[in-house]
Amino acid sequence: MQLSAIEAFVAVCEHGSVRAAAAAMHLTQPAISKRIATLEAQFGHELFDRVGRGIAPTEAGRAFLPHARRLLAEIEDGRRALDSLSAHVSGRLGLALSHHVALHRMPPMLRRFVNRYPDVALDIAFLGSEAACESVARGHIELAVITLPRMPPEPLVQREIWPDPMRICVARDHPLAQATQPSEARLGDYPALLPEAGTATHALVAEALAARGVPLQAQVASNFLETLKMLTAVGLGWSALPATMIDDELIALEFPGLRIQRSLGAVHHPGRRLSNAARALLHALDGA
């Protein structure tokens, strides 16, 4: 059984089409189809239903998929184990970064890292925190540095690197900025500019305000905090942003007793061997 055929099978399952899988693997569509056909012949089961131009895993394909993922993860673990026999820090490091962490926390760290370890090939994916956790869980990414989920997905482990306090803020000419003592209840009168529902940041803000009886008005949602900052600065509503992002364009509103704080940090899979490069980056992050 060829490993390349199993890789093609998993790629088609995850990308939803032969075309997308071929693009991801830098192969032709006939090459992907040939590998799938070889695997099906070896198993004696059809792994995909092909209807028109669509393709979806059969019952046999769905049954085999978790085993295929585990096999690929074990092979990757084996590769890292061999690389780790040497103390030299080198090789590929699959790293996921959330956009906020990538822009506001990692540049100095990455600059020092690539200067110190020039033989490491960084393969960086910019993902939302939830998608990054899923990639780590599936073995696609070795390490993620993101906004940490409050309840880490099993079986991932996480470590906090930076506490990230957040502030409710508005444009300088917003009505709430003009009030001598703005009431948090008035937040419900204006649009909330927040990340999408389902994200850790949205849940933190919504729950903190719900505990004080403040509903969220229909909102503009974006997972890019820089976009939310711009929309807030032009007066479209209020937002909750990291304190480090608040500048002269914005006014942070003071509400006694209201505390919203995220945690930014690293996530990895405890059941998979970390490469020398991943351990070196974690060590550098611990000293950040």
Query: pLDDT tens-digit profile of 54-64?
Result: 789 999 999 99
Rounded distance, CA 129 to CA 229, Å?
19
The set of residues, in sequence order, having a beta carbon less than 8 Å from that of 93 and lying 6+ positions away, is 120, 121, 122, 123, 142, 143, 275, 277, 278, 281
The pLDDT, as a whole number, for residue 143 is: 96
- Peptide bond between residue 175 and the one before it cis (omega within 30 degrees of 0): no
In whole angstroms, give the CA distance from residue 288 to residue 278. 15
Q: Please compute the mean of the pLDDT values over residues 159-165 and round it to a whole number.
A: 95
Q: Which domains does the chain have, with CATH numbers?
A: 3-82 (1.10.10.10), 88-162+264-286 (3.40.190.10), 164-261 (3.40.190.10)
Residue 121 pLDDT level (bands cut at 50, 70, 90) = very high
Q: Considering only CA atoms, which of 223, 91, 212, 75 is closest in space to residue 146?
A: 223
State the chain's mean pLDDT as an integer. 91
Residues 6+ apart with CB under 8 A from 60: 43, 45, 46, 47
Residue 38 CB partners (closer than 8 Å, separation 6+):
2, 5
**The pLDDT value given to residue 1:** 62
Q: Is the model's pLDDT at 86 over the cut of 90? A: no
What's the rounded Cα separation, in Å, for the pair 286 and 275? 17
pLDDT digits (tens, 9 = 90+) for 194-220: 999 989 999 999 999 999 999 998 788
Q: What is the pLDDT of residues 215-248, one digit of tens each?
A: 998 788 899 999 999 999 999 999 999 999 999 9
Q: Confirm if 95 and 123 have CB atoms less than 8 A apart.
A: yes
Residue 161: CB partners within 8 Å, gap ≥ 6? 105, 145, 264, 265, 266, 285, 286, 288
Q: What angle do CA 33, 39, 45 make, to 5 degrees?
A: 105
Spatial CA neighbour of 227 closest among 213, 245, 243, 212:
245
Q: Where is 221: in which H helix or E strand?
A: strand 217-221
Residue 183 has a pLDDT of: 87
Cα dihedral 69, 130, 121, 113 in deg (nearest 10): -140
Question: 141 pLDDT exceeds 80?
Answer: yes
